Amino acid sequence: MNPSPSALPRLLYVEDEAETAAIVTEVLGVEYLIDHARTGEAGLELALGRRYDVMVVDRRLPGMSGVELLEAVRTAHITTPAIMLTALGTVDDRVSGLDAGADDYLLKPFDFAELRARLRAMRRGRGPGTRREIGDWLFSPAALALYAPDGGRIPLTQAESDLLELLTSSPEHVFSRDEIVASVFPGGSAGTVDAYVHYVRRKSTPEIIDTVRARGYRSGMPR
């Protein structure tokens, strides 16, 4: 049985290229109720006018850019999770989207399955507005991702994200292995904690999590 249209999550899509917009709207229209805007100005008006569950914003738009649009949306305290579509993969392009308040980015041309998976992850995530800095890194529990200082994206599993979410919830606090097991790995052991700390460090940087000898772990301060 198909869900009724009103039960579908609402997606704001801002894209000026007609061909791309037509395909994306068709593909995502199965899962989302889509409002499509062709300019940043129109997108901003929609974003300010009603609540959306998720936003997909092209970076390059005529007039107001996707970056300017997101900055304006975040300035208005709208925390709806957002993916920025960017045609350019330079450090500046990746970082400016994240700096503007995107929770995730996707390089064009992208795979539709990837876009749908990213959107689903963001909607499962722990809610918007939870991005956290870990030193010069950025952690987005909503996107299940860590971003390196150059904007490089490192996907996290739910358990890895949960571990970082706990540690960054109180960055000064040293969490004992028992505390971490109780919050993140019920039924697990100290060894489970050590294994996940290792996974997260291996895929990002060793400094992302500090080991405090004989006590436990704490959010790191990588540069």
Candidate residues 58, 93, 103, 104; the one interacting with Ca ion per rule CB under 5 A: 58
Cβ count near 3 (within 10 Å): 9
Q: Using DSSP, how many helices (H) and how many strands (E) does the chain show?
A: 8, 11
Q: What single-letter amino acid sits at 172?
A: E
* CB nearer to Ca ion: pick between 16 and 103: 16
Min CB(43)–Ca ion separation in Å: 12
Q: Please, how many CA atoms are within 13 Å of residue 77, restricted to the half-sphere of its CB?
A: 0
Min CB(85)–Ca ion separation in Å: 8
* CB nearer to Ca ion: pick between 59 and 177: 59
Q: What is the DSSP letter of 126?
A: S
The stretch near Ca ion (CB under 5 A) out of 46-54, 60-68, 124-132, 183-191 is 60-68
The stretch near Ca ion (CB under 5 A) out of 15-23, 76-84, 104-112, 134-142 is 15-23
* CB nearer to Ca ion: pick between 73 and 85: 85
Contacts of 120 (CB under 8 A, 6+ apart): none
- Identify the three-state secondary structure at position 77: coil
Q: Are strands 137-140 and 132-134 parallel, antiparallel or unpaired?
A: antiparallel
Q: Is 38 in the site for Ca ion (CB under 5 A)?
A: no
Min CB(34)–Ca ion separation in Å: 17
Min CB(14)–Ca ion separation in Å: 9
Q: Are 56 and 12 in contact (CB under 8 A)?
A: yes
Beta bridge partners of 148: none
Site size toward Ca ion, by CB under 5 A: 3
Min CB(69)–Ca ion separation in Å: 12
Q: Is 16 in the site for Ca ion (CB under 5 A)?
A: yes
Tokens representing 133 are 């800095």
Candidate residues 10, 38, 60, 132; the one interacting with Ca ion per rule CB under 5 A: 60
Site residues (vs Ca ion, CB under 5 A): 16, 58, 60
